[in-house]
Amino acid sequence: SIALIAQRAAPKESMQKVATPGQKRCEDVAQFLKMDLIRTIKSLVLAVDQETGPAKLFMVLLRGDHELNEIKVNKIAGLSAFRFATDTEILAACGSPVGYLGPVGLPSSVQVIADRTVANMSDFVCGANAEGFHLTGVNWGRDAPEPLVADVRNAVVGDPSPDGKGTVEICRGIEVGHVFQLGTRYSEAMKCTYLDENGKAQAMVMGCYGIGVTRLLGAAIEQGHDERGIIWPISMAPFEVVICPVGYDKSDAVRDAANHLHQELLAAGVDVVLDDRGERPGAMFADWELIGVPYRVVIGERGLKEGQVEFQGRRESAAQLIPLTSIAQTITTAIHTAKNNLI
């Protein structure tokens, strides 16, 4: 049993049996009785099979708006191999079908386990163990025996934080790595031992880790994208820079400038790709924004007449006009800065 986490309020109501025909879910019961969902409790019956005889049954109680955490239940002594009880088992033990179950008047063969939140409740609503009926104004100690108390629910936003310095916030994440505890299974098989402080040979406790390489890609995309496509970190991008020549198949000046810059960047060790498809500017830009190459250089006839090209980072909203003679240096500097800043 775990100590209560808050002071339980004193009872204010007497227990009443009320008809709730067809109301099996806590949400439905709360609406039917015109009360808050947090005043209701849900009853889940778990079973643990025995070597001989019938399964041992446990009734686990949660507040109406909370959900069961099966991993936590597995850690409770005697429940490591639990399963959910069948309708037949529940009816035989509790005298009521699912939807009308509760801790009042249960036979001693059914062990009641209340989540900490439920153990702190007073004047709550639960099933009456009679089809079509619920009980209101139920209180521990007076109407039902004090239960075994355990943490068996999923955490929710607003719960007290474990360090007592705030409240819980919940965010979604991607598991890209995992540490496994292997115990002594393999060390015993390999006779891998060490001498403890008493000079006795003990099997080493082993562990290992794994990194999901393909998951890293998904995580990077989830963290770096916009409505136009992917925004790769420089270290993961398929190319560092793309050269987008407008009119590559029509203009000798554009083609020569693009080819020259391509060779210059290759010689400087830049991972560069030249789009020589002759696509329209809009389609070409959309393709490379979707792919997510970190930097883009646009070469066009109009800019070349003024000795300039456009340079834009994938994270930036506007392009810069850079002299053609210094664009290679601008690109290498930007890439070097991005790598140093891990972006």
36 and 106 share one domain: yes
Look at the chain and report how many structural domains it folds into: 3
Tens of pLDDT, residue by residue over 190-238, are 999 999 999 999 999 999 999 988 889 999 999 899 999 999 999 999 9
| Residue where a domain stops, chosen among 159, 194, 213 | 213
Which token pair is 28?
Answer: 């439905």
Task: Report pLDDT for 237.
Answer: 96
21 and 138 share one domain: yes
126 and 22 share one domain: yes
Residue 233: inside a domain:
no
- Residue for token pair 């409740």: 121
Task: Report pLDDT for 2.
Answer: 42
| Residue where a domain stops, chosen among 134, 150, 166 | 150
209 and 106 share one domain: no
331 and 262 share one domain: yes
Q: What is the pTM of this model?
A: 0.62
> 209 lies in which domain range?
177-213
Task: Report pLDDT for 6.
Answer: 58
75 and 146 share one domain: yes
CATH number at residue 65: 3.90.960.10
Residues in the chain predicted with pLDDT less than 70, given as ranges, are 1-6
92 and 134 share one domain: yes
Residue 320: inside a domain:
yes
Residue 328: inside a domain:
yes
Task: Report pLDDT for 174.
Answer: 83
Q: What's phi and psi for 172, nearest 5 deg?
A: -80, 145
For the chain, helix, strand, coil in percent to 5 are 25, 25, 45
- Residue for token pair 């360090």: 163
50 and 103 share one domain: yes
CATH number at residue 294: 3.40.50.800
Residue 169: inside a domain:
no
Residue 155: inside a domain:
no
107 and 195 share one domain: no
33 and 99 share one domain: yes
Residue 234: inside a domain:
no
283 and 247 share one domain: yes
45 and 123 share one domain: yes
Q: Provide the β-strand partners of residue 243.
A: 274, 297
CB 257 within 8 A of CB 308: no
Task: Report pLDDT for 175.
Answer: 85
Task: Report pLDDT for 1.
Answer: 39
Strands (E) in 65-186, as ranges, are 83-84, 110-115, 124-127, 133-138, 148-150, 177-183
244: left (phi over 0), alpha (psi -120 to 50) or beta: beta
29: helix, coil or strand?
helix
